[in-house]
Amino acid sequence: MVKKGLLKVMIITAISFVVCISAFSQTDPQFTQYVFNHAYLNPAAAGFGGKTNISAIYRTQWTGYTGTFDSGGAPNSQLLTASAPLSFLNGGVSAYFLNDQLGGGSATREFELAYSYHKRFGANIIGAGISAGMHNRSINGTNYRPRETNDPVIPTSQTGQTKPDLGAGIYLYNPVYQLGLSVKHINQPAFGLSTESGNSLLPRSLYLTGNVLIGLSYTLDVSPMFVIKSDFKTVSPEAGAIITYNANYWAGLNYRWQDAFSFLIGGNFLNSSLRAGYAVDWIVFGNLAKAPLSHEILLTYSLNPPRAGKKSIIRTPRYRY
């Protein structure tokens, strides 16, 4: 009954977002393997899953894109995330570092720390999380060709600014389903990178995520998934599904609205301590101005969570005392 009710809520919420779809202005980098990346999207997801997870993602968007005048220019992103449950804090913590190269000498870097408080309700656990960190923007004005000489809007050298950044979210966790809602850049940090006065706000980003595990047979599971992104003016949804064999190997499809179809594949190795995944995006919207493919690699290593206090005594039949 609970599962059916939650599924209904997820479907209604997703539809209500999709109704108001328009072109979405991307400020945060997008990752196709978002279903394995909740700690980046939502601070409330910190510490879930019972393991300490360290993840790395490398993404090249529009691989091989070349500008009209200069070579290169394709965006690429690197993300390093760590998440761990901490029972003595009644929740979990996470941290991530993001390096997002936008092409043309422009770059974004983020470092965020998050804490999530966990509260159990039967088989479900609800997390409420906050995050705080630093957001850096930089630009190299020498890589640009101004229409007018000495244009004051374009800096004449490498310049950058760092501002504080805040986020918050809630996360519902169950071994069978997860649902999350978060807001990044709550304080909307403002950046002025030109030689002329004026600031550019980093808009708030809203993320709604969800996925469900459905058993098809003893060895096959299917997991529908979605993420809906919004800057509170426009909305961009994407959805897909992953089929998993023997709880270890998966393949799936995903579609990002007005952008691309994606194929995902991966598996768990080393007694499920290592997760490796690969995704490729085939651009189907605006492909005349983009290279046709984007590639993404994911690696996650899991280990036992840190413990506080003394180790418990383990007694064996041979040595009773």
Mean pLDDT of 119-136: 96
Top-confidence residue, 152 or 101: 101
CA pair distance 65, 293, nearest whole angstrom: 9
Q: What is the pLDDT of residues 54-84, one digit of tens each?
A: 999 999 998 887 766 665 678 899 999 999 9
- pLDDT level of residue 183 (50, 70, 90 thresholds): very high
Asked if pLDDT for residue 5 goes beyond 60, the answer is no
Top-confidence residue, 75 or 224: 224
The C-alpha angle 221, 86, 248, rounded to 5 degrees, equals 20
User: Helices marked H in the chain — which ranges?
Assistant: 2-18, 38-41
Nearest CA to 264 out of 244, 234, 242, 247 is that of 242
% of the chain with per-residue pLDDT over 70? 79
> How many helices and strands (H and E) does the chain possess?
2, 17
Q: What is the pLDDT of residues 81-121, one digit of tens each?
A: 999 999 999 999 999 999 999 876 788 999 999 999 999 99
Mean pLDDT of 12-16: 44
Cα dihedral: 309, 125, 175, 96 (round 10): -70
Nearest CA to 204 out of 169, 174, 162 is that of 169
Nearest CA to 79 out of 107, 112, 56 is that of 56
% of the chain with per-residue pLDDT over 90? 63
pLDDT (0 to 100) of residue 310: 54
> pTM here?
0.84
Domains and CATH numbers, the chain: 2-303 (2.40.160.40)
pLDDT (0 to 100) of residue 82: 97
